[in-house]
Amino acid sequence: MYKQLLNHQIVISRIAMLLGSKEAATNHLSKCIYSVGMGNNDYINNYFQPQYYPTSSQYTGEQYATVLVQQYSKQLKTLYEYGANKIAIFGLGQIGCTPAEIAVYGTNGFACVDKINSAVEIFNVKLKSLVDDLNKELAGVKFIYINITSITSGKAFPGLTVLNVPCCNVSSITRLCVSNKAPCSNRSTYAFWDAYHPTEIVNVFVAGRAYNAQTAFDASPIDIRSLAQL
Ligand SMILES: *[C@@H]1O[C@H](CO)[C@@H](O)[C@H](O)[C@H]1NC(C)=O
Ligand SMILES: *[C@@H]1O[C@H](CO)[C@@H](O)[C@H](O)[C@H]1NC(C)=O
Ligand SMILES: *[C@@H]1O[C@H](CO)[C@@H](O)[C@H](O)[C@H]1NC(C)=O
């Protein structure tokens, strides 16, 4: 994200050039909605890959989430300093329910890998309270938290029948799609495209409820539609 913030600075200077001044750019950006989502790979491709990374022996789940959220906090403040005023922050998904993690860790008879979902929930709780803190601390800014767990729980997916098998053929090492193989015949019935990433139908559903919350948990303190209207 540090790299993305550097890239963003370059984009901002181009906007300032196009609009004629730095003030005009800042004014423009203050009306934009920023969508920020980070952290899934800190669990998938780091904490829960102890064969490659030592973090799970160096940090408890609580400590790891704290470190991640502290860095995230700095980065979000930098984004604010660059002129962002309306920022939707997506929490992590239930990584323990991905076909990849289920294949690696097993579920012990449950639907998902509970220890992964628990670690992720610690992060999400801290991220949501960071959102509350930032709203108190920074005047004139609205940060919102999108709760993917809330959005994807419940039976709101008509036709989505295959919840734990990827639509495409995945590599047993990367768990990503193998090239030149036929995908499943009807992707609208699958929750997962490869063994980690949701299909389009799920992404559209999550986006819809992030925009237009259906429960108080989906988006807080307000949804993206209300953020747009501020
Ligand atoms: C997300 O929503 C669920 C309800 O589906 C709730 O149990 C959980 O506490 C929420 N997470 C956060 C971080 O607010
Ligand atoms: C694919 O599945 C969806 C959901 O069940 C269904 O609405 C659609 O008609 C199916 N498409 C095809 C081509 O079978
Ligand atoms: C994956 O590949 C195997 C072997 O080529 C094939 O039998 C199977 O139907 C494929 N699965 C999917 C989902 O495309």
The reply to whether 95 falls in a domain is: yes
Mutate to test the pocket of ligand 1, among 149, 151, 153, 215 (most ligand atoms within 8 A of CB): 149
Q: Looking at the 3D structure of the chain, how many domains does it have?
A: 1
Higher pLDDT, 157 or 58: 58
Please tell me the number of the ligand nearest to residue 187's CA.
Answer: 2
Band (100; pLDDT cuts 50, 70, 90): very high
Give pLDDT, residue 169.
Answer: 96
DSSP three-state, residue 215: coil
Q: Which domain holds residue 103?
A: 32-155+209-229
Instruction: Kindly state the helix (H) or strand (E) to which residue 105 belongs, with its residue range.
Output: helix 99-105
Q: What residue owns the CA closest to ligand 2's atom 4?
A: 159
Q: Rounded to the nearest whole angstrom, what is the distance from the C-alpha of residue 214 to the centroid of ligand 3?
A: 37
Please, are residues 108 and 37 in contact by the beta-carbon 8 Å criterion? no
The reply to whether 113 falls in a domain is: yes
- The 10 Å CB-count burial string (b at 16+, else e) for 143-176 is bbbbbbbbbbeeeeeeebebebebbbebeeeebb
Residue-wise pLDDT for 179-192, tens only, equals 999 999 999 999 99
The reply to whether 22 falls in a domain is: no
The proportion of the chain whose per-residue pLDDT surpasses 90, expressed as a percent, equals 91
Please, are residues 199 and 191 in contact by the beta-carbon 8 Å criterion? yes
User: Is the predicted pLDDT of residue 162 greater than 80, yes or no?
Assistant: yes
Give pLDDT, residue 59.
Answer: 98
Q: pTM of the predicted model, to two decimals? A: 0.93
The single-letter DSSP state of residue 187 is G
Of 126, 125, 119, the residue nearest 56 (C-alpha):
119
Three-class SS string for 8-59?
HHHHHHHHHHHHCCHHHHHHHHCCCEEEEECCHHHHHHHHCCCCCCCHHHHC
The reply to whether 44 falls in a domain is: yes
Mutate to test the pocket of ligand 1, among 129, 145, 147 (most ligand atoms within 8 A of CB): 147
The reply to whether 102 falls in a domain is: yes
Give pLDDT, residue 4.
Answer: 96
The reply to whether 170 falls in a domain is: no
The reply to whether 185 falls in a domain is: no
Question: What's the whole-number average pLDDT of the chain?
Answer: 95
Average pLDDT rounded to a whole number, residues 87-110: 95
The reply to whether 196 falls in a domain is: no
Q: What angle do CA 46, 48, 53 make, to 5 degrees?
A: 45
Band (141; pLDDT cuts 50, 70, 90): confident
Give pLDDT, residue 58.
Answer: 98
Band (156; pLDDT cuts 50, 70, 90): low
Rg of the chain over Cα atoms, rounded to whole angstroms, equals 19
User: Is the predicted pLDDT of residue 13 greater than 90, yes or no?
Assistant: yes
108: left (phi over 0), alpha (psi -120 to 50) or beta: left
Q: Which atom of ligand 1 is nearest to the CA of 150?
A: 5
Handedness of CA 223, 116, 119, 46 (dihedral sign): negative
Please tell me the number of the ligand nearest to residue 189's CA.
Answer: 2
Of 73, 64, 48, 168, the residue nearest 127 (C-alpha):
73
